């Protein structure tokens, strides 16, 4: 496996807020004196009433997590109003449409006015502090206005990714009892229309309980409007003012609910609160991306995922940043789109997911090389382990060997980044998320929960709280306790497997459920996948365990080949030999199934639990597939598997 080390570039060490010595000192202090450390960094946001208490958290018993608990603040105030004095005319959001000819820039003053209007529209419809509002939107500025409008008046938003079906949407509306929905007529992705309003109608027919639907006109496509329940946003906005006061929110008042992406089971309604979340999102955004005034920052996530919440919207705007919001997809109109957008808007920092990197890598270097990317300074990755092969390609081809990559490990539950390099401080090892952020105490434990020291593999826990941590599962605190604090009592269990190397670097090896035990050797599926992807003919691979008479578990690999490569018996043997040579005989796949597509969640993560079932021939029991991007992929895999038998 690749163990290359990339030093911190000299220019970065000079420019960055944090160099290595500073990282060590700040990290140590954050662990030795969390109250002092966070009291100081809690000042990075504006408090209407300053807090006097900092940390009050308990991972035992009923599990109670409170930060800055007597402070009063407002997230929208921090993301907008406090910047108006100096930044009214600075661009807050650059919006790039699905069609390359469409883009616009929204200043902080314009953002203020739009958010106030949206907030007033909600108030006129009796939305009050604590009420839940479901947002089901394409990636257009109105999605940001909607989220910030909720924050402004103290309503709790639940953003549901625009790619979800009416059933999934209905489930989420019911779970948090939203009475109000904000949507658009249609979405536009990769030139294709998504019938958002029609989906909302179908969802409400199922869920009931919705009094108001606010509809933004995006495409102008025909939709049905219920004369009592539904209103056009542009008509409603005409009759309200651009002034709306910010509600006084306690630090522990809920800010949003967000359902996890569902790669391991039924999505959980993750609840985040106000003060600690914003402190953590803005602080991680500043230091991890080394954000300086004037930087153009682009995170390609959808606002339907936590990455969109913390690192398109809340973190950057709290820092007075210019954040780019992209409506489209990486391969439309061509595979050069990302890089063309970078050139068009002179993007300095680019943050995306391994699934996108692998897909673009498959299309070759040419679509990248024909663009300049001279403005790029820093690259980021999030969502899955990034295999070293993809890391190196991202570094070499996209970043022209000069941009550090921050491989950021975190979860919906963590609110912000927990394990990550800092670009001016951390030597990079491709495939490793490297070291903990300030205030984060990772621990690797064995199956019994015994802490393991030094260079080891095991289960990743976090032993103490940080301000951005989720506070509960909405409406089901018991599930919160059961899911995260029962496996290893007194610790937050992440569900991820992890290796720590001799330099103290952390390597996420995949979900613990995905760790396989072959003849007594435990290994992460990510390791075998990385090795397979290293082969020039392989584009993507997913590895699962299956029952094996002799070894206990055997290795079953699903392999997607590069464009134009045909599957063959010979190639199968070549791949087995390749892994055997790269990692060792123990990791050689027992079975390889060539598959043109892999089942992925709508956020692009491979759903290994489904692949496990198929490998076990347990076709009738595939579990919750409602969060799959393309259910047809599963039928193909099953048919293929059955034909082979």
The single-letter DSSP state of residue 621 is G
Select 382 or 538, whichever has its Cβ closest to ligand ATP.
Answer: 382
Grouping H, G, I as helix, E, B as strand and the rest as coil, residue 530 is helix
Work out whether strand 55-58 and strand 64-67 pair parallel, antiparallel, or are unpaired: antiparallel
Closest distance between ligand ATP and the C-beta of residue 138, in Å? 20
Are 266 and 466 within 8 A, CB to CB? no
Select 27 or 409, whichever has its Cβ closest to ligand ATP.
Answer: 409
272 sits near ligand ATP (criterion: CB under 6 A): no
The answer to whether 307 is a known ligand-binding residue is: yes
Work out whether strand 451-452 and strand 442-445 pair parallel, antiparallel, or are unpaired: antiparallel
Site for ligand ATP in 344-383 (CB under 6 A): 382-383
Task: State the DSSP string of 305-355.
Answer: SHHHIIIIIIHHHHTT-EEEEE-S-TTSS-TTHHHHHHHHHT-SEEEE-HH
> Where does residue 348 fall: left (phi above 0), alpha (psi -120 to 50 degrees), or beta otherwise?
alpha
The answer to whether 533 is a known ligand-binding residue is: yes
Alpha-carbon distance of 84 to 540, in angstroms, equals 47
Q: Facing residues of 493 across strands?
A: 461
Closest distance between ligand ATP and the C-beta of residue 123, in Å? 32
Distance spanning both ends of the chain, measured CA to CA = 34
What burial class does residue 620 get, using C-beta atoms within 10 Å of its C-beta: 0-12 exposed, 13-18 middle, 19+ buried? exposed
| Rounded (5°) CA angle 555-633-326 | 110
Please identify, among the stretches 78-86, 261-269, 538-546, 611-619, the one whose residues bind ligand ATP according to the rule CB under 6 A.
261-269
Alpha-carbon distance of 498 to 417, in angstroms, equals 16
Alpha-carbon distance of 459 to 555, in angstroms, equals 20
Please identify, among the stretches 34-42, 340-348, 360-368, 488-496, the one whose residues bind ligand ATP according to the rule CB under 6 A.
488-496
The answer to whether 540 is a known ligand-binding residue is: no
| Rounded (5°) CA angle 317-320-321 | 75
Selected binder of ligand ATP within 41, 429, 511, 535 (CB under 6 A): 511
97 sits near ligand ATP (criterion: CB under 6 A): no
The answer to whether 412 is a known ligand-binding residue is: yes
Closest distance between ligand ATP and the C-beta of residue 271, in Å? 14
Selected binder of ligand ATP within 407, 527, 529, 540 (CB under 6 A): 407
Site for ligand ATP in 290-319 (CB under 6 A): none
484 sits near ligand ATP (criterion: CB under 6 A): no
Closest distance between ligand ATP and the C-beta of residue 526, in Å? 8
Q: How many residues does the chain have?
A: 645
Are 320 and 87 within 8 A, CB to CB? yes
Please identify, among the stretches 114-122, 182-190, 290-298, 494-502, the one whose residues bind ligand ATP according to the rule CB under 6 A.
494-502
608 sits near ligand ATP (criterion: CB under 6 A): no
Selected binder of ligand ATP within 262, 315, 399, 442 (CB under 6 A): 262
Contacts of 478 (CB under 8 A, 6+ apart): none
The single-letter DSSP state of residue 433 is -
Alpha-carbon distance of 99 to 103, in angstroms, equals 8
Selected binder of ligand ATP within 154, 162, 267, 589 (CB under 6 A): 267
Q: Residues 427-446 vs ligand ATP: string with x where CB under 6 A?
A: ------x-------------
Please identify, among the stretches 101-109, 164-172, 263-271, 341-349, the one whose residues bind ligand ATP according to the rule CB under 6 A.
263-271
322 sits near ligand ATP (criterion: CB under 6 A): no
Selected binder of ligand ATP within 34, 385, 388, 589 (CB under 6 A): 385
409 sits near ligand ATP (criterion: CB under 6 A): yes
Site for ligand ATP in 130-159 (CB under 6 A): none
Selected binder of ligand ATP within 116, 249, 299, 508 (CB under 6 A): 508
Contacts with ligand ATP, residue ranges (CB under 6 A): 260-264, 267, 382-385, 407-412, 433, 494-496, 508, 511, 603, 605
């Amino acid at each position: 496996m690749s163990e290359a080390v990339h030093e911190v570039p000299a220019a970065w060490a000079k420019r960055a807020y944090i160099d290595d010595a500073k990282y060590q000192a700040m990290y140590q202090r954050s662990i030795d004196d969390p109250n002092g450390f966070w009291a100081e960094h809690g000042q990075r946001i504006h408090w209407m009433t300053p807090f006097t208490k900092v940390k009050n958290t308990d991972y035992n018993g009923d599990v109670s997590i409170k930060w800055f608990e007597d402070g009063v603040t407002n997230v929208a105030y921090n993301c907008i109003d406090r910047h108006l004095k100096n930044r009214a005319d600075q661009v807050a959001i650059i919006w790039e449409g699905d069609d390359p000819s469409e883009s616009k820039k929204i200043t902080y003053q314009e953002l203020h006015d739009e958010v106030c209007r949206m907030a007033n529209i909600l108030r006129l419809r009796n939305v009050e502090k604590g009420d839940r509002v479901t947002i089901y939107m394409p990636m257009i500025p109105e999605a940001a206005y909607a989220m910030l409008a909720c924050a402004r008046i103290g309503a709790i938003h639940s953003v549901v990714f625009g790619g979800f079906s009416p059933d999934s949407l209905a489930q989420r509306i019911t779970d948090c009892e939203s009475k109000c929905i904000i949507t658009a007529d249609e979405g536009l992705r990769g030139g294709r229309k998504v019938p958002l309003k029609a989906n909302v109608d179908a969802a409400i027919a199922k869920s009931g309980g919705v009094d108001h639907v606010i509809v933004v006109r995006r495409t102008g496509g025909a939709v049905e409007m219920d004369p009592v329940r539904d209103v056009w946003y542009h008509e409603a906005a005409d009759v309200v003012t651009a002034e709306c006061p910010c509600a006084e929110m306690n630090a522990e008042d809920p800010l949003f609910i967000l359902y996890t992406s569902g790669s391991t089971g039924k999505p959980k309604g993750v609840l985040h609160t106000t003060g600690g979340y914003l402190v953590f999102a803005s602080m991680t955004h500043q230091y991890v991306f080394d954000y300086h005034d004037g930087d153009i920052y682009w995170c390609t996530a959808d606002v339907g995922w936590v990455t969109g919440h913390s690192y398109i919207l809340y973190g950057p705007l709290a820092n007075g940043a210019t954040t780019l919001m992209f409506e489209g997809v990486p391969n439309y109109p061509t595979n050069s789109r990302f890089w063309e957008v970078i050139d068009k808007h002179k993007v300095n920092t680019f943050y995306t997911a391994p699934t996108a990197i692998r897909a673009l890598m498959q299309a070759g270097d040419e679509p990248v090389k024909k663009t300049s990317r001279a403005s790029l300074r820093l690259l980021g990755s999030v969502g899955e382990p990034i295999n070293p092969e993809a890391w190196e390609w991202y570094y070499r081809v996209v970043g022209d060997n000069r941009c550090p990559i921050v491989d950021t490990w975190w979860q919906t539950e963590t609110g912000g980044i927990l394990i990550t390099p800092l670009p001016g401080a951390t030597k990079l090892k491709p495939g490793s998320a490297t070291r903990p952020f300030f205030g984060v105490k990772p621990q690797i434990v064995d199956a019994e929960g015994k802490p393991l020291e030094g260079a080891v593999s095991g289960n990743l826990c976090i032993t103490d709280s940080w301000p951005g941590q989720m506070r509960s599962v909405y409406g089901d605190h018991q599930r919160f306790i059961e899911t995260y604090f029962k496996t290893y009592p007194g610790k937050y269990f992440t569900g991820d497997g992890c290796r720590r190397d001799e330099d103290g670097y952390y390597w996420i090896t995949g979900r613990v459920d995905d760790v396989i035990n072959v003849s007594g050797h435990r290994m992460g599926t990510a390791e075998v996948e990385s090795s397979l992807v290293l082969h020039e003919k392989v584009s993507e691979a997913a590895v699962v365990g299956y029952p094996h008479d002799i070894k206990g578990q055997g290795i079953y690999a699903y392999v997607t080949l590069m464009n134009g490569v045909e599957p063959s018996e010979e190639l199968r043997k070549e791949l087995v030999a390749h892994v055997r040579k790269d990692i060792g005989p123990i990791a050689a796949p027992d079975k390889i199934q060539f598959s043109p597509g892999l089942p992925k969640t709508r956020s692009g993560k491979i759903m290994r639990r489904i692949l496990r079932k198929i490998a076990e021939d347990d076709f009738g029991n595939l579990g919750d597939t409602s969060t799959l991007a393309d259910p047809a992929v599963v039928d193909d895999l099953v048919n293929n598997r059955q034909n082979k038998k």
